[in-house]
A and B are shown apart, each in its own frame.
Chain A
Amino acid sequence: MQITLHNVVPIPLKDKLQQRPSDIWNTQQTLKPGEWIKIKAPSGTGKTTLTHILYKLRFDYLGNVLWNDQDIRTVTGGALAEKRQQQLSIIFQDLRLFNNLTARENIELNRVLQQPHYETNMVDAMAEKLGVAHILNQRAGLCSYGEQQRIAIIRALVQPFEFLLMDEPFSHLDKANTAIAAALIAEECTKRKAAFVLTDLDDDDHFNYTRKLNL
Chain B
Amino acid sequence: MLNILLKKLIKTASGRTRFVMAVIGLSVALLLILSAVQIQANYNELLNGKTNQDSTANFLVVNKEVNNATINATTLSDDELKRLSQLPFIDAVGNISPGRFKASAESYTKTFPFYTDIAFESVPDEFIDINSKDWKWQQGSDFIPMIIPNMFLDIYNFQFAVSQGYPQITPDLLKAMSFKINMYNPNGTVQYYTGRIVGFSDRISSVLVPQNFMDWANKNYGSNASGKPSRVVIRTKDPGNPALVGYLKQNGLTTDADKTRFSKYRQIVNAVVNVSWVTGAVMLLFALLIFTLFIQLTIASCKEEIQLLITLGAAPKQLQGFLMKRFFPSNIVITVLSLVVITVLQYILHGILQKQHIFVSAYPSYYTLGVAVIILLSLWLLNYTTIKKYIKNS
Contact = CB atoms under 8 A, between A and B. Distances in A.
A binds B: yes
Interface of A: 57, 77-78, 81-85, 88, 96, 98, 100-101, 105, 108-110, 112-114, 159
Instruction: Identify the interface centre among B9, B305, B310, B313: most chain A CB within 10 Å of its CB.
Output: B313
Nearest to A105: B5
B310 A81 contact: yes
Interface stretch (B18-26, B95-103, B314-322): B314-322
B1 interface: yes
Given A98-B9, A98-B308, A101-B9, A112 B2 contact: yes
Interface centre among A81, A83, A84, A105 (most CB of B within 10 A): A81
Nearest to B1: A112
Contacts of B1: 108, 112
B176 interface: no
Nearest to A159: B313
A105 B3 CA distance: 12
B313 A84 contact: yes
Q: A77, A109, A112, A159 — which one has the most chain B CB atoms within 10 A of its CB?
A: A109
Nearest to B392: A77
Contact of A101 (B8, B314, B316, B317): B8
A101 B9 CA distance: 8
Given A101-B5, A112-B2, 7 more contacts: A78-B317, A82-B315, A85-B313, A101-B8, A112-B1, A112-B5, A113-B2
Nearest to A116: B1
B356 interface: no
A108 B5 contact: yes
A108 B310 CA distance: 15
B315 A81 contact: yes
Contact of B9 (A83, A88, A100): A100
A147 B311 CA distance: 21
Contacts of B312: 84, 109-110, 113
A109 B5 contact: yes
Contacts, number: 52
Contacts of A110: 312-313
Nearest to A155: B312
Contacts of B313: 81, 83-85, 88, 110, 113-114, 159
A96 B310 contact: no
Contacts of B5: 101, 105, 108-109, 112
Contacts of A78: 315-317
21 contacts: A77-B316, A77-B317, A81-B310, A81-B316, A83-B313, A84-B313, A85-B315, A96-B311, A98-B305, A100-B8, A101-B5, A101-B8, A101-B9, A105-B5, A108-B5, A109-B5, A109-B309, A109-B312, A110-B312, A110-B313, A113-B318
Contacts of B317: 77-78, 81
A108 B5 CA distance: 9
Interface residues of B, number: 17
Nearest 3 Cβ contacts at the A-B interface: A84-B313, A81-B315, A85-B313
Contacts of A109: 2, 5, 309, 312
Interface string B314-358: 111110000000000000000000000000000000000000000
A83 B1 CA distance: 22
B315 A77 contact: yes
Nearest to B8: A101
A104 to B, nearest CB: 10
A77 B388 CA distance: 11
Contacts of A84: 311-313
Query: Which of the listed residues B5, B310, B316, B318 has the most CB atoms from chain A within 10 Å of its own CB?
Result: B5
Nearest to B391: A77
A78 B314 CA distance: 9
B8 A113 contact: no
Residue from the set B2, B5, B9, B312 with the largest chain A CB neighbour count within 10 Å:
B312
A105 B2 contact: no
A158 to B, nearest CB: 11
A96 B310 CA distance: 12
Contacts of A112: 1-2, 5
A113 B310 CA distance: 10
Interface in B105-146: none
B92 to A, nearest CB: 62
Contacts of A108: 1, 5
A111 to B, nearest CB: 8
Contacts of A85: 313, 315
Nearest to A83: B313
Contacts of A101: 5, 8-9
